[in-house]
Amino acid sequence: MSALLSQSKDELAAWMQVQGEPYFRAQQVLRWVYAKREFDWSRMTSLSLSLRDRLSRFWVLPSLTLLKIQESEDRQTLKFLWGLRDGKKVESVLILAPGRQTVCVSCQVGCPARCAFCASGREGLLRSLQAEEIIEQVLHTQKYLDSKGMRVSHVVFMGMGEPLENLDIVLRVVRQLSDPEGFGLSQRRITISTVGVLEGIERLCDEDLNVNLVFSLHAPNQHLRKKIIPYARRYPLDQLLEALRRYTTKTRREITYEYTLIHKINDQPAHALELVALLKGENCTVNLIPYNQVEGLRLERPKGSDIEYFRQILEEGGLRVTWRYTKGKDIAAACGQLALQPSSFVTVCK
């Protein structure tokens, strides 16, 4: 059996043709799933019983099982634990803000990047997710929001995994989520984050996409970056920055440079001045992220006053700066904390 949501509309229509069914049957099926969030073939009543039977025998739907969910104390962040068909598990996060409902999806089980401050890569990469396993993170979350009268407004590839190491699948997901006959989400509301895979960034430059690109910088120079991000040993910073400039030129989308501030490692005034020199004149925003505690790591979060001074130096140097407000820290759902810790969840389904 194949997973339904791994197929595009045209691929499903081709299967329908082999079955002797008209093209619009594919549109009907996708409308049931994407628009109505229906995952039970028996309830797709606009389809004949015969077709529903054939669909159930040939196509897998759904591919994910919601195992557990946890809500933060401020009720603005929810972390979902999904069961995959092979027994593995993956997490995603729903972040709520006024007029904005963002789903942070995972694209791999585990992560190959093994960044020094991040929990997701501590066990390495187990496997990459398939298109349906990523798309369903969005659709099942939307089904949760339906009862609250809310709509997913943004999707960010910032959960577990390195998106550019699963790029074929990520591109397929982006196109299906942004298809008007799919989920219908504007590509301008989709963000891909990367620690810096040069070939992946160069390929994105050649794709006809308008997604936002976020680069995990975390250090103002190559030497320090290699200590924080092992992938930096493979890709020189100057080459990555040049590729990012090409992406900006091609798409006219600014790059967001994420910078996780770690006490006494990359948060000193000298680092801020070096960062100004590195990025001044670039079409970009620097997003400061205070380090979120990960069990077992002997790293510390800077004081608020030190973060503010770091920010002040960047702004006085002419850079656009944001300071990310930490959400979901109490449920290990903040940046860098996703690590499949089932004991931290509460069961919501039986």
Does the annotation mark 91 as catalytic?
yes
Q: What is the pLDDT of residue 81?
A: 96
Q: What is the pLDDT of residue 79?
A: 95
DSSP 62-87: ---EEEEEEE-TTSSEEEEEEE-TTS
DSSP state of 233: G
Cα–Cα distance for residue pair 184/164, rounded to 1 Å: 23
Tokens 């700066």 — which residue? 321
* Residue-wise pLDDT tens digits, 122-157: 788 999 999 999 999 999 999 999 999 999 999 999
Total-model pTM: 0.91
* Residue-wise pLDDT tens digits, 58-99: 999 999 999 999 998 988 999 999 999 999 999 999 999 999
Question: Number of C-alpha atoms within 13 angstroms, CB side, residue 18?
Answer: 9
Looking up residue 254, the CATH number of its domain turns out to be 3.20.20.70
Say if residue 238 is in the same domain as residue 160: yes
Say if residue 143 is in the same domain as residue 269: yes
Position 231, amino acid: Y
How far apart, in Å, are the Cα atoms of 143 and each of 34, 36, 69, 148, 349?
10, 8, 14, 9, 14
Backbone phi, psi, residue 95, to 5°:
-115, 120
Cα–Cα distance for residue pair 235/188, rounded to 1 Å: 27
Say if residue 181 is in the same domain as residue 126: yes
Say if residue 14 is in the same domain as residue 97: no
User: Could you tell me what percent of the chain has a pLDDT over 70?
Assistant: 92
Say if residue 165 is in the same domain as residue 255: yes
Active-site annotation holder among 107, 115, 205, 335: 335
* Residue-wise pLDDT tens digits, 174-225: 999 999 989 999 999 999 999 999 999 999 999 999 999 999 999 999 999 9
* Residue-wise pLDDT tens digits, 267-299: 999 999 999 999 999 999 999 999 988 777 889
Say if residue 38 is in the same domain as residue 170: no
The structure tokens listed for 195 are: 């620690």
Does the annotation mark 104 as catalytic?
no
Q: What is the pLDDT of residue 332?
A: 44
Say if residue 49 is in the same domain as residue 109: no
Say if residue 115 is in the same domain as residue 41: no
Backbone phi, psi, residue 335, to 5°:
-55, 125
Final residue in a domain of this structure, among 60, 92, 109 = 60
Say if residue 153 is in the same domain as residue 292: yes
Cα–Cα distance for residue pair 92/160, rounded to 1 Å: 8
Average pLDDT, the chain: 91
DSSP 127-147: EEPPHHHHHHHHHHHHHHHHT
Say if residue 194 is in the same domain as residue 174: yes
Q: Residue 109 belongs to what domain range?
A: 65-347
Say if residue 9 is in the same domain as residue 113: no
Final residue in a domain of this structure, among 10, 25, 60 = 60
The structural domain count of the chain equals 2
Final residue in a domain of this structure, among 35, 60, 85 = 60
Active-site annotation holder among 21, 38, 91, 162: 91
Residue 324 confidence (pLDDT) above 80: no
